Amino acid sequence: VGLTKAMCDELAEFNIQVNAIAPGYFATPLTEMTRADKTRNAEILAHIPANRWGYTADLMGALVFLSSAASDYVNGTVLTVDGGYLVR
């Protein structure tokens, strides 16, 4: 978060946007063991209102938005994609 904001501050004058995506819990090969542990998986899902792990496809909307002209005035922002995890 700090790096995103600092880079935004430094690069905005050159018309360079700096934003970040902060993913929550995502189903990847690196999280396979955690997802297979029924107790740990249930603990994690209890904190996600969407009640599921994220998938790579869930990031696509954020990526497309930040890469498009629709985000021309978005700068120094961290877009959280976590199924609502931070609200719990």
pLDDT in tens, 32-81: 999 999 999 999 999 999 999 999 999 999 999 999 999 999 999 999 99
For residues 59 and 53, what is the distance between their CA atoms, to the nearest angstrom?
A: 12
The pTM assigned to this predicted structure is: 0.89
Q: Specify the CATH class of 2-87 in words.
A: alpha beta
Q: What is the structure's pLDDT at 73?
A: 98
